[in-house]
Structure 1
Amino acid sequence: MSENTSDVALADKFFEDFKRLKAEISKVIIGQDEVVNLLLTSIFCKGHSLLVGVPGLAKTLLIQTISSALDLSFKRIQFTPDLMPSDILGAETIDKDRNFKFIKGPIFANIILADEINRTPPKTQAALLESMQEYSVTVAGQHFDLDKPFFVLATQNPIEQEGTYPLPEAQLDRFLFNITLEYPTFQSEVDIVKNTTSDVENVVNHILDGEAVMNYQHLVRRVPIADNVVEYAVGLVHKTRIASNMAPSTTQEYIEWGAGPRASQNLVIAAKCNALVNGKYSPDIEDVQAVAKPILRHRIIRNFKAEAEGITIDKLIEDLL
């Protein structure tokens, strides 16, 4: 990036804007620093995220706050067993002149919160996932482009599995990150309770707008990366595949299926953004390692032995790193 002075200046501005964004979001969201980092990284990488956490951890408030700070439109869709694709995409209706008119669904927003995505049948899940991939929808033969930037945060509750439709691996692969939302620490929870039980309302200021977000998305793609860092990322993904000659004994013993090529692409693009976030102009191996867990944890399938011995996906990724 050193050859392009305008990109260097833009990278410096991105570093400062990212810090301002974090400061603005922290007015409302307390103690979820890593989650906020990953969600913002996902947006600037032009990706989508899956957030796994128990109810009551302010997932809706978190994504609302981010959309306010970025000055982007926000819609929340509550996924239920009876939700139809038309409830997401929109549908054609007949107006008073007996002409067909398309009424846009909630998918036509910049940021979508797909709450409890695994509560709805595969047909409705697929309607959302298609729009994530294509950035457009087709209804009754008509093609509609979605608003850009476009970001989907889908949530899942890890406790209740009754009456759910788990996302197939091929659809999980469309998410850049799988983020685990943990309970807050004691002190964070004290601060949360103080903040949310008073009559003071924190106002979130607009730090960026849609155009600035898209400019930074293009900047992330332009970040140069050394061949050895790309090779490390691809090698890490190959280590998850039991058929690969790079697979260590851990993979052979505990992994059923490894990650696909999209994982390698995502490791590189997320490492580029992680470098910018930390004030660097090019990513190194540490940047790849920093984003490895949320990128790989939904792309690796453990075998029966790993489940029986209680070996988690995160532990397997740590061993590979």
Structure 2
Amino acid sequence: MPLTPEQSQWFATTFGQLVANVEVALVGKTRTVQLAWTCLLAEGHLLLEDFPGTGKTSLARAMAQTMQGSQNRIQFTPDLLPSDVTGVTIYDQGTGRFDFHPGPIFANVVLADEINRASPKTQSALLEVMEESQVTVDGVTHRVPDPFVVIATQNPIEQAGTYRLPEAQLDRFLMKTSIGYPDHASTVQILSSTHGRVTAPVRSVISAENVASMIELAGQVHVEPAVLDYISRLLQETREAPEVLLGCSVRAGLGLVRACKAWAAATGRNYVLPDDVKTLAEPVLAHRMMLDPEEEFRGNTTNDVLKRILGQLPAPQEAAV
């Protein structure tokens, strides 16, 4: 059943506190922080394509501290092995048993730094855990903590020695966005702090258990059949667009529905509007599309295609629930 007005108000208030708290570490990037929390509350994962020094690590650390969760950082390099990510089983001569030693993937917030620098074999080690929140090592399944989110980064400029993420890997990321450089006022604030860092500490405002409760509440947000029809037609248009070689899958549609539910709850509503779909279409769908090489040569992007489709696709009329 849909959220009650009281639950919707609590969700929106708490969401605002989460965003404001992380902005202590990531100054002037409200929308990026909102998308990051929406991604987590929709049980998805986030891909940040950005330049070095824009605060990607600070974002992951601040989110973990805000919800009293664990956080690990994995530096992806060409020599990184899958077991360096997931963990390894070691024989203990004293007990005569094989003991599992968990890898850094076992944390609430995992920063996969420069993910495209690892080999495809190591990248594939994330496929199971990002889809099913579990790791299988030597035939034994191990659950990761709940809530769980992977925040992966890659540099859009430096491509030497990198391995392009395959479409199957990109499809595991619910959203792709960037942080970007801060504006003038935010830059002055950062520069004026001690040692170039914002001095105010990031405090904990919620427990990981309460975040898990928010995830459950977000799943109860109502979606009208007309909105689902709108999302389905949007997916179909991405597949039939002449500029596109690969459109969006049903998994992309399911992710968009989850994200819209969390976004609606964050604004105090217990139902999804077509405007929620329009707001989240770019971060959720654009990275899952592949353009014709000639279109890329002309300077077109998947964001341009999505904007055209959304501008031409009639949206359903808003209906109060």
SS state at 1:123 partner: helix
- Deviations, residues 117-170 of structure 1 (Å, cap 9, x unaligned): 100011111112211112111112222111111111111111111111111101
Identity %, equivalent residues: 39
Q: Which amino acid aligns with 2:128?
A: E
Shift in Å, 1:196: 4.8
Residue 41 of structure 1 corresponds to which residue in structure 2?
38
The alignment status of 1:216 with 2:221, answered yes or no, reads no
Do the aligned partners of residues 220 and 53 (structure 1) sit closer, same or farther apart at CA in structure 2, a change above 3 Å counting?
Answer: same
User: What does 1:67-146 correspond to in 2, within 5 Å?
Assistant: 67-95=64-92, 97=94, 99-146=97-144
CA distance in 2, matches of 1:200, 1:314: 33
Residue 27 of structure 1 corresponds to which residue in structure 2?
24
Residue 246 of structure 1 corresponds to which residue in structure 2?
none
CA distance in 2, matches of 1:136, 1:112: 14
* Counterpart pick for 1:273 among 262, 265, 272: 262
TM-score relative to the length of structure 2: 0.92
SS state at 1:118 partner: helix
Residue 276 of structure 2 corresponds to which residue in structure 1?
287
Q: Which amino acid aligns with 1:34?
A: R
Do the aligned partners of residues 276 and 196 (structure 1) sit closer, same or farther apart at CA in structure 2, a change above 3 Å counting?
Answer: farther
SS state at 1:318 partner: helix
SS state at 2:142 partner: strand
TM-score relative to the length of structure 1: 0.92
CA distance in 2, matches of 1:41, 1:56: 23
Residue 248 of structure 1 corresponds to which residue in structure 2?
none
Residue 63 of structure 1 corresponds to which residue in structure 2?
60
* Counterpart pick for 1:298 among 269, 287, 297: 287
SS state at 1:297 partner: helix
Residue 180 of structure 1 corresponds to which residue in structure 2?
178
Q: Which amino acid aligns with 1:46?
A: E
Contact 2:91 2:99 survives alignment (8 Å): yes
Shift in Å, 1:8: 2.9
Shift in Å, 1:269: 1.4
- Deviations, residues 61-81 of structure 1 (Å, cap 9, x unaligned): 111011101111000000000
Contact 2:86 2:104 survives alignment (8 Å): yes
SS state at 1:75 partner: strand
* Counterpart pick for 1:312 among 297, 301, 309: 301
Shift in Å, 1:289: 0.4
Unaligned runs of 5+ in 1: 243-250
CA distance in 2, matches of 1:67, 1:22: 12
CA distance in 2, matches of 1:116, 1:14: 33
Do the aligned partners of residues 307 and 275 (structure 1) sit closer, same or farther apart at CA in structure 2, a change above 3 Å counting?
Answer: same
Do the aligned partners of residues 196 and 262 (structure 1) sit closer, same or farther apart at CA in structure 2, a change above 3 Å counting?
Answer: farther
CA distance in 1, matches of 2:50, 2:187: 16
Do the aligned partners of residues 77 and 200 (structure 1) sit closer, same or farther apart at CA in structure 2, a change above 3 Å counting?
Answer: closer
Q: Which amino acid aligns with 2:46?
A: S
Do the aligned partners of residues 200 and 285 (structure 1) sit closer, same or farther apart at CA in structure 2, a change above 3 Å counting?
Answer: closer
Residue 247 of structure 1 corresponds to which residue in structure 2?
none
